Amino acid sequence: MAQIDIRNVQKFFGQHQVLKNLNLTIEDGEFVVMLGQSGGGKTTALRAIAGLETVTSGKILINGTEVQDRKAADRDIAFVFQSFSLYPHMTVRENIAFPLRAVRMNAADRDKAVSEVAETLQIAEHLNRKPSALSGGDMQRVAIGRALVRRPQALLMDEPLGVLDAKLREQMRAEIKRLHIARGSTSVYVTHDQIEAMSLADRIVILHDGVLQQVGPPDEVYLHPTNLFVAKFVGSPVMNVNAVRLEGNSVVINGASQGFHFPDQMLGHARSTAGEMTLGVRPEAVLLSHQPSDGFVEAVTTNIEPLGSHDIVDVRLGDTVLRARTESAFVSGEGQKVWARIDPSQAHFFDTATGLNLRGAN
């Protein structure tokens, strides 16, 4: 397996810079997911590790050895693309065996290696079929099998589930995670899908406009975003983000008629900025009640999204709308009077100008 170090890597396409001083260490045996919007630099970073893109400057090391000037074939890394890229005229067995034939492995060892990876990926019964006879999920298993069969130092995956339907994506997420645990491989996975990132990653790497925004375990990235981009990008539904001002111990959302009381000890970091401030709260941190109570302010429901296990309820406070997560059927419909409160322990204050979390990422 492999430890991968990216040191001060920059990448230009012409005058356009797509990676800006990227520094990252991926530990041996770790599953790292690169998450970000389209054009954020995550696929370029993955291709640079693989040797499919040259870097403009900086270093890439695998197990301490610099590889940024080596060809892809000399890095002992496997790459799984979003498209299946299988040879249609070959059987599943021949597709998986192709990398082994290229290095002239003898037939007996080749057949053994193919059988082992096919059993691991649960496609042994398909070995004599052509790709056209397989489902999308099985075709992606074949593509992964072809990547794994020569036991590379690291497995790189570029949105490998992007063309699958929702059910197959869920099944394949579980398969990829199981395979990673079974093999203990170093895995780097690119996606814009937050569910994939949260369910697969040991650590999530968030890139935006070529700049590393935050690196951490899924719960840390979700609960302690380092800046407004991460706060708004991670989470579904998205975090409530509103301009606010402090009036004593009250946090008043711009456009709302009443403020929310916060304990004094939770406002120290909010008072550390003299500039404009933004409040961020997840929907689960917006608490609703059918009765007036201390700390709750009057609101009116404007929209309900029933999601089975829970509802997402929009509530209006003055000119402002907050999204709350409630138990199913907590409110009966639009226009219902409720009372809302923000859980101060789950609130984040950001410097509006810089976007930085005023209490850091922890």
Average of per-residue pLDDT across 64-70:
95
Give the domain ranges of the chain: 4-225, 233-351
**Amino acid 360: pLDDT:** 63
The answer to whether 156 and 46 have CB atoms below 8 angstroms apart is yes
**Amino acid 42: pLDDT:** 96
Percent of the chain at pLDDT above 70? 99
Tokens of 44: 């370029």
Between 34-48, 66-80, 141-155, 316-330, the lowest mean confidence (pLDDT) is in 141-155
Tell me the pLDDT of the chain averaged across its residues.
91
The answer to whether 115 and 100 have CB atoms below 8 angstroms apart is no
Architecture of domain 233-351: Beta Barrel (2.40)
Which residue shows structure tokens 């070959």?
Answer: 90
Q: What is the pLDDT of residues 95-130, one digit of tens each?
A: 999 989 888 889 999 999 999 889 888 899 999 999
**Amino acid 50: pLDDT:** 95
Report the 10 Å Cβ neighbour count for 236. Answer: 10
Closest by Cα among 1, 21, 2 to 10 = 21
Spatial distance between the Cα atoms of 119 and 124, rounded to a whole number of angstroms:
5
Contacts of residue 206, defined as CB under 8 A and 6 or more positions apart, other chains included, come to: 35, 36, 212, 213, 214, 215, 221, 229, 230, 233, 234
Q: What is the pLDDT of residues 296-312, one digit of tens each?
A: 999 999 999 999 999 99
The answer to whether 278 and 285 have CB atoms below 8 angstroms apart is no
Spatial distance between the Cα atoms of 42 and 191, rounded to a whole number of angstroms:
8
Spatial distance between the Cα atoms of 333 and 305, rounded to a whole number of angstroms:
10
Tokens of 257: 């008629």
Residue type, 175: E
Q: What is the pLDDT of residues 12-48, one digit of tens each?
A: 999 999 999 999 999 999 999 999 998 999 999 999 9
**Amino acid 125: pLDDT:** 93
Residue 206, classed as helix, strand or coil, is strand
pLDDT over threshold 80, residue 361: no
Average of per-residue pLDDT across 353-361:
83
Q: What is the pLDDT of residues 199-220, one digit of tens each?
A: 999 999 999 999 999 999 999 9
pLDDT over threshold 90, residue 316: yes
CATH superfamily for 4-225 is P-loop containing nucleotide triphosphate hydrolases (3.40.50.300)
**Amino acid 48: pLDDT:** 97
